Every structure is written in structure tokens, then in C-alpha cells.
Amino acid sequence: MDILLDKSEIRRYAGYKEKFKIIPEIEEKIDILISEIKQKARVKYTYEIFDVSILGDEVKFADITFKSRFLAKNLKCCDKIILLAITLGNEVDSMIRRYSTIDGTSMILVQAIAAEYLEKYIDKIEKEILSKIDKKVYFKPRFSPGYSDLDIVHQKDVINILNATKKIGLSTTSSYMLTPAKSVTAIIGITDTDYKNVKNKCSSCMLTNCSMREK
């Protein structure tokens, strides 16, 4: 897939308070690192669509139950979900380790570019899924284990349900962190209700104290 990255989002992920402020030497470095990441990334993903039922703060699908008040709220009006896992591969992790020893600024930028790359790639995957559904539906904001009140231990459940270790080489550590690190798992609700005209990705997010939040 041809992925176009938003450099203002990269600046935001990198911690810029003024994400639209252009600093020429940083912009040059971002461009170089984008090119390097695109060359080194070995993107793999897998997903499945499941029926889902919500009872109170319990979310049930694939013969398993996730307990999360905010996930249940997010999936309101949904009868199906997409369970997704995606990784950029080990080479990007190696880039981060290498830059951590020689150039701290580049390390931070690689982290930020990888985050934006994953987001944009998932956007493309969602469009791919939409094209295969023969009716008008809408996707709820993505929700991942470890976010809000959804316990990070569920990373292991997602990996197991999707057989992601065998399919895309994605697994978890003993503390339920993903490895390769530059990877994402997500639960995406599918609804036929046009629930909100979202102008930015943070406007429907329930984590109101996040430092990355856009006003």
C-alpha cells in the first residue's frame, strides 16, 4: 500500500507543542527517516470480524469476555467488531535501538513516524474492509488493550484469537507488551448508525486527560 504520512501528526507524536511550526533541519531529518522506515518496514497484518454482544460493562465475542466500561460504551449500537493486529516488523525496532545510542532526536522522530505509519496503514485497512461490506456501515474509534480501563492482559487474548504469532510474527512479552514493539492490536466496532461526524481522531476519545489530545 502507498501510505502518505501527515508530518504535522508526526510532530505531534514527537511532542511538538506547535505541531505546524516548521524547523528546516528537523523537517529534513523527518523526510530522511520517513524514507528509511518505509524501506525497512515489513508490514504484516491480520484481522477477523466477529459478532459481539454487550451486557453492562462486559463485551463478549469469539467465546471470550472483555470487561471494560469504556469499551462497552464505545461499542454501543454495534453488533459486530473487527479484531485487528498489525506490525511494522523487527527492522523498525532495530532502527529505534540504533538511534537510541547515536542520536536521541532521531530516535524520538522514528518513534513518532512509526506511530503515524501504523495509524495511516490501519486507515487503509479499514477502507479495504469497508469495500467488502455490501451495506452502509460506520466504524467506531479504535480501542486497544491497555487503553483506558481495558486491561493490557487482553493483548494475549487478541494474539491468540487471531493466531497472530503464526500469521504475522506478533507476540507478547511476559508483561503483555507487543513484540515487535511497533505493532498495534485493536477492536473496531461496526455499526449502521451514523453516530458522529468526527472532525479529529481525539473528539470521540474518552481518555480526556491524554497529553496527545487535540482540542
The CATH number of the domain where 18 resides is what?
A: 3.40.109.40
What pLDDT does 201 receive? Answer: 52
Asked if residues 182 and 88 have their Cβ atoms less than 8 Å apart, the reply is yes
Q: Is the pTM of this model over 0.85?
A: yes
Look-up of cell digits 523526510: 31
Question: Does some domain include residue 198?
Answer: no
Question: Does some domain include residue 195?
Answer: no
Q: Is the pLDDT of residue 214 over 60?
A: no
φ, ψ at 190 (rounded to 5°): -115, 125
Question: Does some domain include residue 19?
Answer: yes
Least confident of 7-16, 39-48, 80-89, 109-118: 7-16
146-163, pLDDT tens digit by residue? 999 999 999 999 999 999
Q: Could you tell me which residue, 162 or 22, shows the higher pLDDT? A: 162
Question: Does some domain include residue 109?
Answer: yes
**DSSP class per residue in 17-43:** SSTT---HHHHHHHHHHHHHHHHH---
Number of domains within the chain? 1
How many Cβ atoms sit within 10 Å of the Cβ of residue 84?
24
Question: Does some domain include residue 208?
Answer: no
Sign of CA dihedral 58, 64, 66, 71: negative
φ, ψ at 184 (rounded to 5°): -145, 140
Q: What is the mean pLDDT of the chain?
A: 91
Q: SS3 breakdown of the chain: % helix, strand, coil, rounded to 5? A: 40, 20, 40
91-133, pLDDT tens digit by residue? 999 999 999 999 999 999 999 999 999 999 999 999 999 999 9
Question: Does some domain include residue 165?
Answer: yes
Question: Per the structure block, which three cell numbers stand in for 159?
Answer: 494474539
pLDDT band (50, 70, 90) for residue 208: low
Nearest to 66 by CA among 53, 76, 77: 53
**Secondary structure of residue 159 in the 3-state scheme:** helix
Nearest to 140 by CA among 86, 59, 19, 46: 59
pLDDT band (50, 70, 90) for residue 206: low
Least confident of 10-24, 132-146, 148-162: 10-24
Q: Is the pLDDT of residue 72 over 70?
A: yes
Quote the domain boundaries for residue 73: 5-189
